[in-house]
Structure 1
């Protein structure tokens, strides 16, 4: 079985702290910078699966940095360098504790809420008479709180302002950036025969300026449909062909796991791990229009250590 990067334990020059997330490990360098290592861990329903997915971290990092570079004319972002296939290096920002979720289609969490009878999500009205995977008349923004631990929760614009999470001026700008980024991502996906269905963006503040943080338009933060056959499948009420992490969630649901109390995480078979790797690589090639170049994974930690030395020698 191929090797995967499921944990890291680096000690970089100037390192002051480290945060181990569900997928990424963030190393804080001096006071103003951070080095983000995309591991091969995979999470669903706010639980980390017990097996790593080879090359997943490389895919996530390279897709994210591809789109950060392609959108830097819309909003400033944190990225400075990409010293290794699994690593991004850039500015440390003060995070805004909400995720800006934008949905162009009725699917995933929005569909589950809709199917239960709800017609309002995060204070936003959803039209009656829609079917799963139908396109909204225009994309809707449905923010969620950014939980340090546990589940993120839906929150409305009104509640964000009431709680004083950000000022109205900042929130209006976040919405503007979110729509502009989604439009750019939609256009870039369409060029590759894909539909950007929904996604999320995280922002922070640096020197009084809003900056785009973290990852964007990756299969962990976004959902893609294949454009070809979309209309026919909707008319026939068939499931859409998609490139996203949703198929992992569906596999877990079929194996009686949704992260609920008392449920046990199923064993992850090797053939399913291989399938997930192939899906992630397929997404990389589809969304970027370039061939995926597999990095050497014989000793990933040592490779990262060597490739990041150039940053710290400056």
Structure 2
């Protein structure tokens, strides 16, 4: 079996029993189960959710996106070996730690396979919350051009690239296109301030104004938990994205939970500690892949300039990346997953067959 065969590139074609269209994102596909199958699993598996909660099977792929495009490699390699399993393993690790530390639950109910989650449907808060401990990436580029106001937070002059900030900054953006919010453009992923949220609690799908403080506390505490654990591994937690939503437990209580993924190389920047002390930034995140792309193509402006999106899309479609580039990215993902979890990463030789066998034999979800 070739390396390309071990990559799960297409994850929206599995014959999982569902009566709704499969929702397929850049990396994950979601199969919403029927009300009957959801209720059966809740009863059989003893999940702490309402008896009528909608459940889904979430299957992660090994696809890799960057600069808003999906990329592929030579020899039919349609993703990065081990990437999906690495992302899931890291998220599972942090979600479990959050739960044991008393922070909050997540949307994950069970992990039947390294590439699969069984999840409950959450009512998402319409915010992507970015927590930043260092000034780097897009924030640095804006700062370097003279911008000082970031989501209502004014930064002082004189900061340097990759400098640790005096305090953890929360720079939220809108999740999806929100309408009717004064001062907030009706486009996806636009920066917002805490005042925007406080003045439009219902529009951002918070159930109560007090939950804004709760969301910020969970964000800060989540960052501190991950940052503290990474520090033990001599890794630096630079910045990350958090998402939140509401669910109802078995007792009928509403609660705010973490959702999506947390502390992964896709959603975070993680730097190597020893290298940083030597004055060099070495990434253990998707930034490795972004930099490889910028160095690989002779005209990096295509990747950075949103006005050239059509050219960028063609670049991703028409160029198979070298195998050694994707292997380097694989080593980054697998390496940081094993470092964080303290275990060898379980990877599949035939992921689709394994997933279907488990979902058929143990969960009766494949006809």
The separation in 2 between residues aligned to 1:96 and 1:10, in whole angstroms, is: 29
Q: Could you say which residue in structure 2 is the equivalent of 1:200?
A: 241
Q: Could you say which residue in structure 2 is the equivalent of 1:236?
A: none
The separation in 2 between residues aligned to 1:152 and 1:47, in whole angstroms, is: 16
Deviation of 1:2 after TM superposition, in Å, equals 0.9
Q: Could you say which residue in structure 1 is the equivalent of 2:34?
A: 30
Q: Tell me if the contact between 2:95 and 2:105 (Cα under 8 Å) persists in the aligned partners.
A: no
Gaps of 5+ in 1: 234-238
Deviation of 1:305 after TM superposition, in Å, equals 0.9
The separation in 2 between residues aligned to 1:269 and 1:18, in whole angstroms, is: 31
Alignment match of 1:67 (pick from 86, 89, 94): 94
Deviation of 1:240 after TM superposition, in Å, equals 0.6
Change beyond 3 A, Cα 1:200–1:114: same
**1:303 equivalenced with 2:354 (yes/no):** yes
Deviation of 1:14 after TM superposition, in Å, equals 4.6
Q: Tell me if the contact between 2:8 and 2:63 (Cα under 8 Å) persists in the aligned partners.
A: yes
Q: Could you say which residue in structure 2 is the equivalent of 1:231?
A: 277
Q: Tell me if the contact between 2:198 and 2:209 (Cα under 8 Å) persists in the aligned partners.
A: yes
3-state DSSP of counterpart to 1:49: strand
Q: Could you say which residue in structure 1 is the equivalent of 2:189?
A: 152
Alignment match of 1:49 (pick from 40, 65, 71): 71
3-state DSSP of counterpart to 1:195: strand
Alignment match of 1:221 (pick from 267, 271, 274): 267
Q: Tell me if the contact between 1:192 and 1:289 (Cα under 8 Å) persists in the aligned partners.
A: no
Change beyond 3 A, Cα 1:241–1:154: same
How do 1:56-135 and structure 2 match up within 5 A? Answer: 56-72=83-99, 73-135=102-164
The separation in 2 between residues aligned to 1:300 and 1:22, in whole angstroms, is: 18
The separation in 1 between residues aligned to 2:291 and 2:170, in whole angstroms, is: 24
**1:211 equivalenced with 2:264 (yes/no):** no
3-state DSSP of counterpart to 1:252: helix
Question: Which has more radius of gyration?
Answer: 2
Q: Tell me if the contact between 1:194 and 1:287 (Cα under 8 Å) persists in the aligned partners.
A: no
The separation in 1 between residues aligned to 2:354 and 2:220, in whole angstroms, is: 38
Deviation of 1:68 after TM superposition, in Å, equals 0.8
Q: Tell me if the contact between 2:89 and 2:341 (Cα under 8 Å) persists in the aligned partners.
A: no
3-state DSSP of counterpart to 1:311: coil
The separation in 1 between residues aligned to 2:233 and 2:257, in whole angstroms, is: 27
Deviation of 1:5 after TM superposition, in Å, equals 1.1
Q: Could you say which residue in structure 2 is the equivalent of 1:248?
A: 289
Alignment match of 1:184 (pick from 222, 225, 239): 225
TM-score for the superposition, normalised by structure 2: 0.78
Gaps of 5+ in 2: 36-53, 73-77, 178-186, 249-253
The separation in 2 between residues aligned to 1:64 and 1:15, in whole angstroms, is: 28
3-state DSSP of counterpart to 1:291: coil
3-state DSSP of counterpart to 1:16: coil
3-state DSSP of counterpart to 2:62: coil
Change beyond 3 A, Cα 1:278–1:15: farther
Q: Could you say which residue in structure 1 is the equivalent of 2:338?
A: 285
Report 1 or 2 for greater relative contact order, CA contacts < 8 Å, sequence distance ≥ 6: 2
Q: Could you say which residue in structure 2 is the equivalent of 1:5?
A: 8
The structure 1 segments of at least 4 consecutive aligned residues displaced by more than 4 Å after TM superposition are none
How do 1:165-184 and structure 2 match up within 5 A? Answer: 165=204, 166=206, 167-184=208-225
